Amino acid sequence: MLAPYAVHLEHSRGRRFPEPHHPYRNDYQRDRDRVIHARAFRRLEAKTQVFTRRYSDHFRNRLTHTLEVTQISRTIAGALNLNVDLAEALALVHDIGHPPFGHAGEKALDAAMREHALSFDHNLHALRIVEDFEQRYAAFRGLNLTFEVREGIIKHSHDYDAKEHPELAEYLLDLRPPLEAQLIDLTDEIAYNTADLDDGYEAHLLTLDDIREEVPAFGNAFEEVVRIYPDAPDKLKFNEALKRVLNRFVDDLIRNTQKRVNDAGVRTAEDIRRHPMRLAAFSSAVESERKQSKQFLYENLYFSPSLAGEKDEAEEVVSDLFAYWMGHPETLPRNYQEKAKEDGLPRTICDYIAGMTDPFILEQYEKHCGS
């Protein structure tokens, strides 16, 4: 039974291009499947999360991260009696707009666009992917996803100003997104705040002592594990402690969101939309722990000297290729040359680069910019 304030399928605003209902899949399940079968989704397997494959092929990539976010989102949405199918579709699509090389690639691409008074935003790019770039159907461009999934793509983690983005007017920018969408940014945080500790420890860039000392949620969990499994190897103690941290974050998000919903007195999905603030949230204690974990990762992993070289190289590859194609647009694939006539050359180059995998952009760099 769905909660009254969950998104009920019968109240969906539907698809841009009406389609007959499927005999045994509801519309959000069909959206999930369309995302999974999209070319852009498959490419996530070869896009960096934190570590490139040249560092190791054991660590998370953008696709495995997405699957972890999806698993957490389904669990939390189910516990809150929300629409699990919608939450699943939103989790699967939430990172589909990311360029190669993780945040280093996004930073370089945005910087290149700003030289032309433009910008790059992976959420807005994701919307362009599902509305235009994916071409799988004869009747329409894009994936023709439901309104709620398209809305969640742009609103799950960011509130856009309607004056700055008039092109997004249909997405109710003056209202909050549904709870199913509000959860995604938080489940994303749970996933990478725990997974990046795991990968950083496996990579020997983070030490057990440093994590225990500077990430209190982990330190407390590790002490409990030591009492229960005093003779277990450190790696297994680490795994057990990290599992407890993940469970703590998930449990707190479920309980605190339910409390906030109850305290707010909301009764319908429309009440959620019109509430003055987002209701999905951690408690103050766990929010503090989340921030401490994230700060630790920024200071000790994301900006680690061991990864600095790859990040610098990634930014150089993106910047140099962008500049090359600005000067030599005739070397772009024919369909992108045609696209530039409509969208402009900078945006077209940005779209082309953003869709690339790590291996493909390195091939293009060697081809066009190699010595």
CATH code where residue 32 lies: 1.10.3210.10
Distances (CA, A) of 123 to 120, 154, 165: 9, 5, 13
The total number of structural domains in the chain stands at 1
**Residue 55: what pLDDT?**
62
Is 80 exceeded by the pLDDT of residue 138?
yes
| C-beta atoms surrounding 322 within 10 Å | 22
Q: What is the C-alpha end-to-end distance of the chain, expressed in Å?
A: 62
Q: What is the per-residue pLDDT for 52? A: 66
Q: What is the dihedral of CA 193, 3, 130, 342, to 10 degrees?
A: -110
Percent of the chain clearing pLDDT 90 (strictly above) = 89
- Residue 89 counted as domain residue: yes
Mean pLDDT of 153-177: 92
Mean pLDDT of 18-46: 96
Is residue 142 in a domain?
A: yes
Cα 230 to Cα 159, 213, 222, 223, distances in angstroms: 47, 19, 11, 10
Per-residue model confidence (pLDDT) at position 303: 87
pLDDT value at residue 48: 85
Would the pLDDT of 102 be above 80?
A: yes
As given in the structure block, the two tokens for residue 99 are 């360029």
Judged by average pLDDT, the poorest of 48-62, 120-134, 259-273, 317-331 is 48-62
- pLDDT, tens only, 196-253: 999 999 989 999 999 999 999 999 999 999 999 999 999 999 999 999 999 999 999 9
Q: Is the pLDDT of residue 141 over 70?
A: yes
More confident call, 103 vs 242? 242
What confidence category does residue 116 fall into, taking pLDDT thresholds of 50, 70 and 90? very high
* Percentage of the chain lying above the pLDDT 70 cut: 98
pLDDT bucket at 173, cuts 50 / 70 / 90: very high
Long-range contacts of 301-306 (CB under 8 A, 24+ apart): 301/50, 301/196, 301/200, 301/205, 301/206, 302/50, 302/103, 302/196, 304/205, 306/203, 306/205
pLDDT at residue 58 greater than cutoff 90: no
- What average pLDDT is seen over the chain? 94
Looking at residue 347, its pLDDT comes to 96
CA angle 335, 168, 85 (to 5 degrees): 90
What is the pLDDT at residue 306?
Answer: 84
> Is 122 a member of any domain?
yes
Q: Is residue 341 assigned to a domain? A: no
Domain around 175: 23-308
Taking only the tens place, the pLDDT of each residue in 1-23 is 899 999 999 999 999 999 999 99
What's the pLDDT at 59?
A: 86
343 falls within a domain: no
Say what the pLDDT of residue 54 is. Answer: 62
Structure confidence at residue 307 (pLDDT): 84
Domain for residue 359, yes or no? no
pLDDT at 308 over 90: no
Question: Is the residue at 369 inside a domain?
Answer: no
pLDDT at 93 over 80: yes
Domain-located, residue 286: yes
